[in-house]
Amino acid sequence: MEVLVTGGAGFIGSHIAERLVRTGHDVTIVDIMEPYYDLGLKRRNIEAVESATGDGGSVRVVEESVTDRASLDELIDGTDVVFHQAAQAGVRASVEEPLKVNSYNVVGTLELLDAARKEDVDRVVMASSSSVYGKPAYLPYDEEHPTQPVSPYGVSKLAAEHYARVYYEIYGLPTVSLRYFTVYGPRMRPNMAMTNFVSRCVHGEAPVIYGDGSQTRDFTYIEDVVAINEQLVGDDGADGEVLNIGSTDTIDILSLAKTIRDAVDPVLELEFDDPRAGDAQHTHADVSKATELLGYEPVVGIRAGVDRFIAWYRENRDWYDPLVRAS
């Protein structure tokens, strides 16, 4: 199949593209290469996708924005399935630049959906986020939970979901929106809490917790996310739906920091700082809808995933570690 992956130089997008190339699909990556973090890491992501081409598929990379309609029309021509991962990521970044987030995440999504509608693609799989829920009325979140996002990022993802639903209901464009719950794993963004904890511990520095550490997260390992996206290349069982994509368990941030500290350098103390604006206090996914419609069964628990990530981090410090890159 001909597949378009927007944001394919990013963490999740590159893993999806890599899997699809390995399984014989012809993948086009479009990415604006926004320097939200070190572009050298994004180039490594692209290299990982390109290294998979020997298994049968192909890849080409286009450096362009999803807000450029003319480029989108050309890229989507002949495309069977679109995986829309492109977005201005980051809750805290969205608090600082809400207009930029709206441009990429809302306007860019609308342009993509409209281009896909006119080219009659088979399916658009959208990356959404647990940030659409906001403060919990109850836990775990199911898809019927009220959506009251507490950050511009969450608002932008909710708006994008509604556009996807409307394009399915009015125009018949098959869409599926996947609400990711804190995805982590090899090549993850270096400004995430887990990466910061590991990096500081590896360098003999205390991990810094923002707030009191009682915040809980439903961390989802990248392999589980890739598997459900790959399934949607040909599975129409969730068209028009919004699905939670989470993990098998939750963990509070304090316990996460202690788990990483104990695995890397048990003698380190923990440090605390002020909480950050826009961060949700708790996330916890009810994935029963995804299980019912698609058979989704996350297999990597948080502690096994943390061990995998620490091992990968140590093996790839020469290019991934922020202090090594800076030296």
Beta bridge partners of 179: 128, 244
Report whether 53 contacts 95 (CB < 8 A): no
Distances (CA, A) of 307 to 101, 150, 231, 235, 269: 33, 32, 26, 32, 20
DSSP 298: -
Q: How many whole angstroms separate alpha carbon 86 and alpha carbon 105?
A: 8
Q: Under DSSP, is residue 245 helix (H, G, I), strand (E, B) or coil?
A: strand
Q: Which entry of 153, 180, 296, 313 is annotated as an active-site residue?
A: 153
DSSP 206: P
Q: Amino acid letter at 285?
A: A
Name the token pair of 259.
Answer: 């788990």
Q: How many whole angstroms separate alpha carbon 178 and alpha carbon 118?
A: 23
Does the active-site annotation cover 153? yes
Q: How many whole angstroms separate alpha carbon 167 and alpha carbon 116?
A: 10
Using CA atoms of 194, 13, 92, 309 in order, give the dihedral in degrees to the nearest 10: 0
Beta bridge partners of 164: none
Q: Which of 42, 93, 36, 38 is nearest to 322 (CA)?
A: 38
Residues forming the active site = 153
